[in-house]
Amino acid sequence: MNLAGRAPGRDDPEPVVPSFSSAAADERVGDADHGSPVAALESDAVGFILAGGESIRMGRDKAQLAFRGRPLIEHALDLLAQAGLPAAIAGAPPSAPRSLETFAPVVEDASPGLGPLSGICAALAATGARYAVFLPIDLPLLPPSLLVFLLRYARITGAAVAIASVSGFAQTFPAVIDRTALSALQSELNAGRHGCFAAFQAASRALDQPLCSVAVELLAQCGQAWDLQGRPPVHWFLNLNTPADLARAEALERQLEAVPQLHRIVQKPSLRG
């Protein structure tokens, strides 16, 4: 989980308490029985999977790493598809395995080794969509409903960047980024400041647009984000950075499978205003 070093600080985004009118409630995402998000998003958004990391701590390429019998890249692509987003892979260095292209289009990182911010800039430069949803390769437990909410919230608020927080800690990813932030993000990268969160803050200041952070616990409580398997929000952000992380995630999934679906707590949206 991306909790280290992200305690609330003076320059952190203000937490957001979601509030919706009855009309907005009618637009909550879900199929007839709220089983899964539907592809109801406009064509002004696209999803990118950040797959340019060196996977040093894992010891092998994470994109092809098997989790629950399938490579992580497939989990990430499914997540974007369920959120109604066309998907591509971003941040891949020229030396990346060509097999990635069998999964989705690849946007190469012209400056590999500079971290995910370089991949973000390459992706924003390659798309004509207004909004880009960035998802790291190693967060397979995120629910698609969270991506849908963040995207719609970015549209409503005019945020330069919309992210989530859990347990009071802002999470750098997933992130919804307005393409107009590209110039400011590229300036940060060119200046040698490669940290994504600091770059998000700088872009928000440059555009005079908010950097919105939404508490997932509140979203779950009011039915704006939910996990159909009943995973608690704190588990949504479990990063698979090391073999120990992978083993923990596998163990959590086995424990969840041992609980009958009837006994799992799943917050789903209500159609009542």
pLDDT tens-digit map of 66-107: 888 889 899 999 999 999 999 999 977 666 657 788 889 999
Residue 184 reports pLDDT greater than 90: yes
Question: Contact 78/59 with Cβ under 8 angstroms?
Answer: no
Identify the CA nearest to 85 among candidates 122, 119, 115, 123: 123
Q: How do the domains of the chain map onto residue ranges?
A: 15-263
- The pTM assigned to this predicted structure is 0.78
* 255 — pLDDT class (breaks 50, 70, 90): confident
Query: What percent of the chain is predicted at pLDDT more than 90?
Result: 48
| Amino acid 220: pLDDT | 92
Identify the CA nearest to 14 among candidates 262, 213, 255: 213
| Amino acid 25: pLDDT | 28
Identify the CA nearest to 142 among candidates 63, 236, 49: 236
* 38 — pLDDT class (breaks 50, 70, 90): very low
The CA distance from 61 to 234, in Å, is: 25
Beta partners for 160?
none
Average pLDDT, the chain: 79
For residue range 2-30, what is the model confidence (pLDDT) as tens digits?
443 454 454 556 444 433 332 332 333 33
| Amino acid 245: pLDDT | 81
115 vs 69: which has the higher pLDDT: 115
Q: In the chain, what is the greatest distance between 2 CA atoms, to the nearest angstrom?
A: 53
| Domain 15-263 CATH assignment equals 3.40.50.150 | no
Burial of 19 (0-12, 13-18, 19+ CB in 10 A): exposed
Burial of 271 (0-12, 13-18, 19+ CB in 10 A): exposed
* 60 — pLDDT class (breaks 50, 70, 90): low
110: which DSSP letter? S
The CA distance from 166 to 168, in Å, is: 5
Question: Contact 243/57 with Cβ under 8 angstroms?
Answer: no
Quote the strand ranges of 41-168, DSSP E: 45-50, 66-67, 70-71, 87-92, 106-108, 131-136, 161-166
Residue 205 reports pLDDT greater than 60: yes
